[in-house]
Amino acid sequence: MANNKPMLSIKGLKKYFPIRAGVFSRVSGYVRAVDDISLTIYPGEVYALVGESGCGKSTTGHLIMKMLKPTTGEVIFEEQEIFSLRKREEKSLRKQVQLIFQDPYSSLNPRMTVGESIGEALEVHGIAKGEERQAKVKAVLELCGLAGYHYRRYPHEFSGGQRQRIVIARALVLEPRFIVADEPVSALDVSIQSQIINLLKELQSKMGLTYLFISHDLSVVKHMADRIAVMYLGSLVEESTKSQFYERPLHPYTQALLSAVPEWDISSRKKRIILKGDVPSPANPPAGCRFHTRCQYCMEICVQERPDLKEAAPGHLVACHLVHR
């Protein structure tokens, strides 16, 4: 991958949401949802973004999709900065970058048939109408493990797993190259999760897709990811290959996350690391290292100075004073 050109690059990305208070709704502060992150995703890989709820994972995905505007920073897709694109160029980007939503129940319009929901994008982009549109929709339904006759049915007639297949089909109908998968299996039963994960891997192989896979479930990520980045309070604290992540995690927060993953084999179970305290508010993050208020290895420098995300081993980046001292 090192010799490939990146498909997606994020540079110094920040997203602050204003906090308004008082009669005149004056800005009294900011929620730092995403706070200065940089990362690179290469063609054909699955890049996983993990962390606790509220750490900024989904906000990052929404920024990539241009559903939100950044406070500062850049998102570059195939050498084009997406927030400076003209309207025509942005429409072309929409065909290349698609989103799989977390909740298959709320992301489908209950008043539209499956065919209408999936085929709408084909008409918006002027790709197909009428019988051609219907043929394309039925083809992508079958590609996602459904049947052509589902075309005229409504979302309430399907199970949760089938609805998620419909959501995936809707994302793929424009034949994109990059997919933001935002917790795509978290709303599903465990028995169905594996089917959807296998489908995503199969589609990646068939269509040459690149994924940003957002999840809090490290057991799911283990089956999907090539590289993994860990977020905490809006910042990246560790990035590595899958093998480095699971075999030799370096950041204390990553170690705590992995210690909480259930293991069927008693002999391979890790000692549970219990983090002290609560996650600080993103509206008032701690000075220095964001994790120092919960870290068992906290040193004086951790309270005073924010660590940079630096290479600790080839392909393994960590933001931790303990690792780099």
pLDDT tens-digit series, residues 53-107: 889 999 999 999 999 999 999 999 999 999 999 888 888 898 999 999 888 888 8
pLDDT for res 269 = 62
* Separation CA 270–CA 255 (nearest Å): 10
Contact between 75 and 39 under an 8 Å Cβ cutoff? The reply is: no
Global pTM reads: 0.93
Domain boundaries, the chain: 249-325
* Separation CA 223–CA 2 (nearest Å): 22
Token code pair at residue 203: 């589609």
3 has a pLDDT exceeding 70: no
Find the length of the chain.
Answer: 325
What would the pLDDT profile of 222-253 be if each residue is shown by its tens digit? Answer: 999 999 999 999 999 999 999 999 999 999 99
203 has a pLDDT exceeding 60: yes
Which pLDDT band, with edges at 50, 70 and 90, does 198 fall under?
very high
Nearest to 9 by CA among 69, 72, 77: 77
Instruction: Characterise 81 by phi-psi region: left (phi > 0), alpha (psi -120 to 50), beta (else).
Output: beta
Q: What angle do CA 46, 51, 57 make, to 5 degrees?
A: 70
Q: Which of 2-11, 100-109, 243-252, 268-277 has the lowest mean pLDDT?
A: 268-277
Nearest to 67 by CA among 98, 29, 110, 112: 98
Which pLDDT band, with edges at 50, 70 and 90, does 266 fall under?
low
Contact between 151 and 115 under an 8 Å Cβ cutoff? The reply is: yes
* 179 burial level (CB within 10 Å; 0-12, 13-18, 19+): buried
Which pLDDT band, with edges at 50, 70 and 90, does 34 fall under?
very high
Q: What 8-state DSSP symbol labels residue 268? A: G
What are the two backbone dihedrals, phi and then psi, of residue 274, each rounded to the nearest 5 degrees?
-95, 115
* Separation CA 161–CA 146 (nearest Å): 11
Nearest to 21 by CA among 31, 12, 13, 11: 31
Token code pair at residue 18: 């204003």
